Structure 1
Amino acid sequence: MMKHLAYILLLGILLGSCTKNFEETNTSPNGTPTALPQQLLAPALVSTLGYNMIRNRNFNNELMQVTVDISDSEGQVFRYDFRSTWADYLYNGLYSELTNFKDIYTTASSELNYNPSYKGISLICQSWIYSILTDTYGDIPYFQSNLAKDSGILEPRFDAQRDIYMDIFKKLDTANALLSAATKIDASGDPVYYGDVSKWRKFGNSLYLRLLLRVSAKSDSAVLKIKDIVETNKANYPIMTSNSESAILRWTGLGPYVSPYLSVREQDFRSPGIASFFIDNLAQWNDPRIDIPTYGSNGYNRWGIVPYSGSYQGVPSGYSPGDNPVKKCYFYSTSTVGAITLMTEPMTGMMMNYAELQFILAEAAAKGWISGSAETYYNTGAQNSITQWIPTWSVPVTTWLAAADIEWLNDETLEQKMEKIHKQKYYALFLTDLQQWFEYRRTGHPYLPKGTGLRNNGVMPARMTYPVYVQSTNPTNYKLAVANQGPDLINTLVWWQKP
């Protein structure tokens, strides 16, 4: 709690809330002027993933029918009943961590500590964080953000999402060039790739493809750049080639690499029921990730899901108040002796995985933007989505897909192919910040059932609202942002969603 309060205070200063004790309080606890990049990287990554994982659990998963926090009270996310207080946590936390990643870049640019690899990694991480912020809120402070200490900008302007994306692409191009030199970095201070700079480069270019696809409906140049990275200039844009190159901070359980889920009370962790949509598909497909006899330990499946009366059953999301559904399947907590549980699972620190990349390529191929086989990319994505969790799984993926009646069919319509791709991608994105929500907003896939108790006229929220305090700490620029983007409401579309 104290840490979160400190971050809120820090961001208030960055965005203009106060100037008292400026030099002392406008300094990140990890971003001191004398800190070296290798000292800053791990704490910044751990903290950023903490914010992402908590909001994944209690916001993304509720919206996207992974879980249902069963209650008839007001403010239930699974009913699209958005409360303005939901906006602060991610906004405050991610902006505070941007200070640390920018400090990495500044220090790695100095004559004394010059290291192009840390500069490139910093730009990748900044791009990753800024993309989550803009995809969550729309127009945000970007070019002038986090400049209170260095430039005295206490009330930064909000930049248009299009301009933010164009600059993110420049950052990622610069990072790719910087990392091509492959200068060594400290392996002990890199909890993602353990000092392997070539894998950071592949992550940066794979992230590039994620974000190019996100804006592809608004930018012909984005479509051309996808082809450039994948085909025309692929030698200069290496991307992930296996699960071993997925960007995951694997929690060891030893400080500071302790999963943020262990900060959740056990009774709260196992309180939400698993939604029918999430569990019904897995059960219908005989998905090995919930196969107890073959892959479990002491009778527990790979994702730590508790069966109900010997089978997998969920709770319908969006049910009407008063229906009083029975909670059925749920996620184990650590108190269950011998259970596999996501609370201690090393791989929940998900940034981007190889399976997601394959589904990005499948969509690009299905739309004719690249010349590869959409079927091959789809099959590879489905296989690696499973083997990411169960490396020993050896069933031919085509056999499994056919048995589950979800195999690729070339004669299907593009809409049918998109549904297949995105239903599998939905599971590949499990635990990855708010990416399921972002992709649903972009594509409308996978098709989610609509409960009778949904608020907001049954329309999926298109964004989070800005934190309420921004209206008083940065009033002029807040009003300009609203005038440019549209009302500060959950149904205002961000740039890449607009027709």
Structure 2
Amino acid sequence: MKSLLIKLGIPVFTSMILISGCTKNFEEINTDPDALASVPANNMLINVLRNTAESFGGDVDGYGTFAGYIVKIQYMDFMSGLIPTNNTYGNRWYNCYYNNTQIKDMLASTENKAEAFKNVRTIGRIWQNYMWFLLTEGWRDVPYSEALKGLPEEGSVLLAKYDKQEDIYPAVMADLKKIADEMAAGIGTDEVGGSDIIYNGDMEMWKKFCNSLRLRMALRISAVSSSLAKSTIEEIAGNSSKYPLIESNDENCYVNFPGSLPYFEPWYNSGIYGKRIDNWGLSDIFIDHMLSTKDPRIGAVAQKTNDGTYKGYQNGAKSGPSVLRSVSWIGEKYMGDPAGFIPFYKSCETYYSLAEAAMLGYNVGITAKDAYEKAVNLSMQENGIGTADIQTYLSGAGKWNNTKERIWWDMWIALFKENYEAWSLYRRTGVPTTNYPSLNSVYGSAHNDQPWRAPYPNSEYQNNKLNVEAAAIKVKDFVWGEQMWWDKRTGKF
């Protein structure tokens, strides 16, 4: 034993000296001299904008099917994937909270020099509220007031309660108004530039997006909180210099992609580069409606079939078509451009919204007819439709008829590719009235409607079980049950 200890003594002693030396200089040795000590605020901004575009813009079916646009024609959709998972819908849940954590950290890191980072902080705060909006639109009740408060100095809240959508909406709208008022009082001097992949640091455009988002949210709750909706919309419409809106197609809130690897536009990346374009066809209700109304936008949103016509396919048919090209695929404008776009807000939405607000009796400074026709023109022009064809449509099936339904049907067409928003349009208005769930749904006849919400992710059931189960007590089959606060449709289950 003694000899063994003697034999071990030298190497052990030597190791102790080495370990001691390493420990003494551990931090210095393990610090990369070329690495940044903290992530620059502008880098964090570009990360969350890109992440949002890839996450929500990457959806082709899913919300596209819920909205009545797109159906699967190879691997048929029987709604079996509408369960708690950490993929697909769960990823989008995660990305919303991830993005807001990044923005929160960015705001904290620049708090002591807020004036020097005023513009990048303002954009971050607007996008933070947009993330909360996307969360409550998709899942209704979500962790909000206690979310992102896990640090000891913030309360060590590791299992956040779920807030009601009825409470989240007014809070988000109030914060957006606060930001809008601050921007009206003056913007910062910091250059955001290319870190803003939407508006290249143009703060006037961010003013417009902020107020346009307020307009969208206010109209959404017009049937359940009319006073807040009316006061918000009339405030915005009544003071366009203080609260400007997105009003032209060159102002659209789009993320445009570089168009080279690894930054292809998501639909192109999946459909063309990923060679999956033949996985999807246009829905029968979408194509049938556009054919019946002679809508010239059909050439932009859809490709012709192998026999030179436009034809849709049923959602959830037992099997796909024997010839995949016998169904219209997604149009080149929307899937065929590697440097394409992901839309978050289209200028036509402003005028569809003002048209509906005028129909509700709100004072918006424009008639419903004029606002509607302006919206149609903007949507048509964005899709490359000429003046003569626009006028033919507006004097035919697209003619103003003094109904909200005329607004909603045209808005549904116009929102193509902004699938998440189109899904909300359907849940709020019931348009398209021809929408239906998968014909061969695994739920059989238990539900007669498209999903009302996304399923809560499995991670919540694993890590926040009591709170998610309390929130889901009125949910049926994960995506039905309690409707959105603003969804007042009847006869759906």
Q: Does 1:381 align with 2:375?
A: yes
Q: Does 1:313 align with 2:306?
A: no
Q: Is the 8 A contact 2:57 2:266 kept in 1?
A: yes
Over the matched positions of the two proteins, sequence identity in percent amounts to 23
- The answer for the alignment partner of 1:336 in structure 2 is none
* Gapped regions of structure 2 (runs ≥ 5): 1-35
CA distance in 1, matches of 2:214, 2:198: 18
Q: Is the 8 A contact 1:342 1:348 kept in 2?
A: no
**Deviation at 1:81?**
7.0
TM-score (norm 2): 0.81
- Aligned pair in 2 of structure 1 residues 345, 386: CA closer, same or farther (>3 Å)? farther
Q: Give the superposed CA RMSD.
A: 2.8
Matches within 5 A, 1:173-192: 173-180=177-184, 181-184=186-189, 185-192=191-198
Matches within 5 A, 1:72-471: 76-77=78-79, 82-85=82-85, 86-111=88-113, 114-149=116-151, 151=154, 152-180=156-184, 181-184=186-189, 185-254=191-260, 257-264=263-270, 266-291=274-299, 302-303=300-301, 305-319=303-317, 321=318, 327=324, 328-331=326-329, 342-344=335-337, 346-371=339-364, 372-390=366-384, 393-395=386-388, 397-403=390-396, 405-410=397-402, 417-450=403-436, 452-453=439-440, 455=444, 456-471=446-461
Q: Is the 8 A contact 1:362 1:373 kept in 2?
A: yes
CA distance in 1, matches of 2:230, 2:463: 41
Matches within 5 A, 1:9-24: none
- Aligned pair in 2 of structure 1 residues 87, 396: CA closer, same or farther (>3 Å)? closer
> 1:226-264 CA distances to partner (integer Å, 9 max, x unpaired)?
443344444321111211111111122147753123442
Q: Is the 8 A contact 1:202 1:237 kept in 2?
A: yes
CA distance in 2, matches of 1:340, 1:437: 21
> 1:90-125 CA distances to partner (integer Å, 9 max, x unpaired)?
111221112122233334433276433223212211
TM-score (norm 1): 0.80
CA distance in 1, matches of 2:319, 2:327: 20
**Deviation at 1:162?**
1.3
Q: Which amino acid aligns with 1:172?
A: L
CA distance in 2, matches of 1:153, 1:33: 27
**Deviation at 1:62?**
1.6
Q: Which amino acid aligns with 2:480?
A: N
- The answer for the alignment partner of 1:60 in structure 2 is 63
- The answer for the alignment partner of 2:44 in structure 1 is 40
Q: Which amino acid aligns with 2:371?
A: Y
Q: Which amino acid aligns with 2:255?
A: L
> 1:174-209 CA distances to partner (integer Å, 9 max, x unpaired)?
211232212243212111111110110101100101
- Aligned pair in 2 of structure 1 residues 474, 159: CA closer, same or farther (>3 Å)? same
Q: Is the 8 A contact 2:73 2:278 kept in 1?
A: no
CA distance in 2, matches of 1:402, 1:63: 31
- The answer for the alignment partner of 1:472 in structure 2 is 462
- Aligned pair in 2 of structure 1 residues 488, 472: CA closer, same or farther (>3 Å)? farther
**Deviation at 1:286?**
4.2
**Deviation at 1:212?**
0.9
* Gapped regions of structure 1 (runs ≥ 5): 1-31, 292-301, 334-338, 411-416
CA distance in 1, matches of 2:433, 2:413: 13
- Aligned pair in 2 of structure 1 residues 167, 449: CA closer, same or farther (>3 Å)? closer
> 1:334-378 CA distances to partner (integer Å, 9 max, x unpaired)?
xxxxx6561425453111010111111111111212352111111
- Aligned pair in 2 of structure 1 residues 436, 325: CA closer, same or farther (>3 Å)? farther
SS at match of 1:351: strand
CA distance in 1, matches of 2:340, 2:477: 35
* Structure having the higher Rg: 2
Name the count of aligned residue pairs: 439
- Aligned pair in 2 of structure 1 residues 381, 332: CA closer, same or farther (>3 Å)? closer
Q: Is the 8 A contact 1:230 1:370 kept in 2?
A: no
**Deviation at 1:280?**
2.7
> 1:39-64 CA distances to partner (integer Å, 9 max, x unpaired)?
22222111111110123x12011222
